[in-house]
């Protein structure tokens, strides 16, 4: 979603603000802007388009100052243009940036217009600026005025404001949209993601739900939503800021695809000891909770939802336990029936996904035995809201289309399944077999990566196509779904995925020589069924690309291109087959010339509904 950066220092902060925005570009945006206190007034520059255009504008019209805020906007209310870009202002003294959605903005806008305020934009954010300006008529403290303003707001917000009449501070508020404060020497910073601030500080404090803060050069004051003083220490981050450097790779996405052997090894580190899964890494109460489980409910969105669907196959096969999987945006708005002794599992890369976080909060009142989140961000809201946490250790993922985070989620979910199984008496031979597969997984992923050049050549067959069909069976069906999503996201080719057994129930009508059909074909118990599905497509003139295990005995012929995949273990095959699917989508997008790392209309972290 949108990105926020703020700074108050003894030095010029304009370069810090722009660099912070560049580090948040991965989140997705369509405009950018800064507001800096300079010569006793707030000066503002905004541009539609990329941060580079804002940077060029600042070169033409430099603004120097020690207090400023900046923002990258992803349009929700109002068109993506300069007028709607943040920061927004009220009169000449209040400037504000905001992530989230103010649901009662129409009502507030009418009230403010009646009081004489004029609106320049179509955004919900401008309402906050005018509300804050109005609140300052009753409060001499900017912090108290912001606290009073938050009482009027309904919806989600992470917001930072500055006031030209009080240039020794900035104020921040958080409800449903993350904000972090960074501490320097005689200077402080604010951002929606600590990645933005790593070049200037490694000490961070995350605002909790409903909190507001006043940030100064010499410190900060933190208040609860009730106005009570809150004491909390800053913590040092071990996140590497070079995660936002592409290195030798053309795109972040390609870099992150090639990081996956190391990511898998990191995810397994310390969780497999002496060839056994170590339950205690999930928390001291994990084993006790797992012993009582009779069912699992998993909630996720997008790529994380596909990871959940794979986990459902594992859980029901090995644990013989019902596993329900649902899209978060659907779950949160319907009445649900909770199975007895259920574990509520959320999956999210950022830990701030709005629909998933709302579902987690809803679940707390529905009688679940416990909650667990699979997440890549240790300081996120979902981690704080959940009873148990399984961190994926994927590192910062900059490309909007998820790659290494997906693989790390799959590995983590497999570890979770085995951990629950151990607590409920899983056969040690079964555990040993799964652990062996996991220990070999980094090598098998590397074997797939070694075929990148061949996949790049193969991708040429898709460059002029407008549609693609992906097929899979069993635990590979969600992998086909993820592959279709990747192709859609970054190449803008329309793609669909089907369980291969569904071909006769409609999709065969789509088959012709202009519709490439990609098949995921490991050597498992469904292989013979899948071969029949391949023949159904071939006999109707379809153009097939089959990613098959070397032992699958699927022969290349007219209309069938076979790409060999090394996958020794059935249970980890979803992770192995994911790699060529990611590479295929990447190379097709490169050929088509799309913006691979920042595809149109998409955002990395979806922190609004």
57, 50 Cβ separation under 8 angstroms: no
Q: Residue 48 CB: number of other CB atoms within 10 A?
A: 19
What is the token pair recorded at 394?
Answer: 């994927």
Give the C-alpha distances (Å, rounded to integers) separating 368 from 292, 294, 321, 337, 471.
11, 11, 15, 11, 35
- The one-character DSSP state at 338 is P
Residues paired with residue 96 on neighbouring β-strands, in sequence order: 88, 161
Q: Are strands 67-73 and 31-38 parallel, antiparallel or unpaired?
A: antiparallel
Phi-psi region of 369 (alpha: psi -120 to 50; beta: other; left: phi over 0): alpha
Q: How many CB atoms lie within 10 A of CB 493?
A: 22
Of 570, 489, 488, 559, the C-alpha closest to 519 is: 559
Count Cβ atoms below 10 Å from residue 4 Cβ, excluding itself.
30
Opening angle at CA 525, ends 520 and 531, nearest 5: 50
**Burial readout 130-163 (b: 16 or more C-beta within 10 A, e: otherwise):** bbbbbbbeeeeebbbbbbbbbebbebbbbbbbbb
Residue 159 zone, left/alpha/beta (φ > 0; ψ -120 to 50; rest):
beta
Please tell me what DSSP assigns to residue 196.
Answer: G
C-alpha separations of 569 from 348, 376, 382, 524, 540 in Å: 27, 26, 33, 9, 33
Peptide bond preceding 437 in cis form (omega within 30 of 0)? no
Q: Facing residues of 37 across strands?
A: 42
Work out the widest C-alpha separation in the chain, in whole angstroms: 79
Strand partners, 168: none
Tell me the angle at which helices 477-491 and 302-314 cross, rounded to the nearest 10 degrees.
170
Three-class SS string for 44-61? EEEEECCHHHHHHHHHHC
**167 vs 327: CA distance, rounded Å:** 45
Residues 6+ away with beta carbon under 8 Å from 489: 400, 401, 585, 599, 602
**Dist CA 320 CA 294 (whole Å):** 9
Distance set, CA 92 to CA 41, 60, 69, 129 (Å): 8, 22, 15, 11
330-345: b or e for each residue (b if 16 or more CB lie within 10 Å)?
ebbeeeeeebebbbbb
Active-site residues: which are they? 2, 604
Pairing mode, strands 276-277 and 543-549: unpaired
Query: Phi and psi dihedrals of 36, rounded to 5?
Result: -130, 135
Q: Report the C-alpha gap between 523 and 82 in whole angstroms.
A: 54
């Amino acid at each position: 979603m949108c990105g926020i950066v703020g700074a108050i220092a003894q030095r010029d902060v304009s370069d810090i603000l722009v660099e912070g925005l560049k580090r948040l570009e991965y989140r997705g945006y369509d405009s950018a802007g800064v507001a800096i206190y300079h010569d006793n007034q707030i000066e503002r520059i905004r541009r539609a388009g990329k941060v580079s255009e804002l940077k060029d504008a600042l070169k033409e019209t430099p603004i120097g100052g020690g207090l400023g805020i900046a923002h990258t906007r992803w349009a929700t209310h109002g068109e993506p243009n300069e007028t709607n870009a943040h920061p927004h202002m009220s009169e000449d003294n209040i400037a504000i940036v905001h992530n989230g959605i103010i649901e009662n903005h129409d009502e507030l806008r009418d009230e403010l217009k009646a009081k004489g305020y004029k609106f320049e934009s179509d955004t919900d954010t401008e309402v906050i600026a005018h509300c804050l300006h109005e609140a300052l008529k009753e409060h001499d403290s900017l912090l108290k005025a912001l606290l009073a303003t938050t009482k009027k707001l309904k919806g989600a917000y992470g917001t930072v404001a500055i006031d030209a009449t009080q240039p020794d501070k900035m104020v921040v508020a958080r409800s449903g949209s993350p904000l972090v404060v960074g501490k320097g020497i005689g200077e402080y910073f604010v951002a929606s993601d600590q990645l933005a601030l790593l070049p200037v500080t490694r000490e961070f404090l995350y605002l909790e739900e409903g909190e507001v803060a006043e940030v100064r050069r010499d410190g900060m004051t933190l208040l609860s939503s009730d106005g009570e003083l809150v004491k909390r220490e800053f913590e040092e981050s071990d996140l590497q800021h070079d995660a936002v450097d592409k290195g030798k790779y053309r795109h972040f996405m390609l870099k992150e695809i090639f990081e996956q052997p190391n990511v898998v090894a990191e995810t397994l580190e310390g969780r497999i000891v002496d060839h056994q899964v170590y339950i205690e890494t999930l928390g001291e109460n994990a084993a006790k909770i797992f012993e009582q489980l009779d069912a699992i409910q998993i909630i996720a969105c997008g790529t994380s939802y596909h990871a959940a669907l794979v986990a459902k196959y594992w859980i029901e096969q090995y644990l013989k336990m019902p596993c329900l999987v649902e899209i978060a945006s659907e779950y949160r708005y319907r009445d649900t029936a909770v199975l007895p002794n259920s574990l509520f599992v959320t999956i999210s890369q950022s830990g701030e996904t709005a629909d998933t976080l709302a579902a987690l909060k809803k679940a707390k009142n529905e009688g679940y035995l416990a909650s667990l989140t699979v997440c890549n961000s240790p300081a996120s809201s979902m981690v704080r809201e959940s009873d148990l946490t399984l961190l994926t250790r994927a590192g910062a993922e900059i490309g909007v289309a998820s790659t290494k985070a997906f693989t790390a989620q799959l590995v983590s979910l497999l570890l979770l399944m085995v951990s629950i199984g151990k607590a409920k008496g899983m056969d040690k031979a079964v555990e040993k077999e799964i652990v062996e597969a996991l220990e070999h997984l980094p090598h098998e992923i590397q074997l797939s990566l070694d075929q990148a050049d061949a996949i790049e050549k193969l991708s040429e067959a898709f460059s002029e196509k407008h549609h693609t069909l992906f097929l899979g069976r069993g635990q590979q069906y969600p992998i086909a779904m993820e592959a279709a999503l990747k192709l859609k996201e970054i190449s803008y080719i329309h793609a669909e995925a089907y369980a291969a057994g569904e071909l006769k129930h409609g999709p065969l009508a789509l088959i012709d020589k202009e519709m490439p059909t990609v098949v995921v074909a490991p050597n498992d118990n469904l292989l013979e069924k899948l071969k029949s599905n391949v023949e159904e497509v071939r006999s109707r003139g379809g153009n097939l690309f089959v990613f098959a295990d070397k032992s699958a005995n699927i022969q290349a012929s007219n209309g069938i291109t076979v790409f060999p995949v090394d996958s020794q273990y059935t249970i980890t095959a979803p992770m192995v087959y994911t790699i060529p699917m990611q590479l295929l989508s990447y190379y097709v997008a490169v050929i088509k010339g799309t913006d691979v790392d920042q595809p149109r209309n998409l955002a990395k972290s979806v922190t609004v509904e």
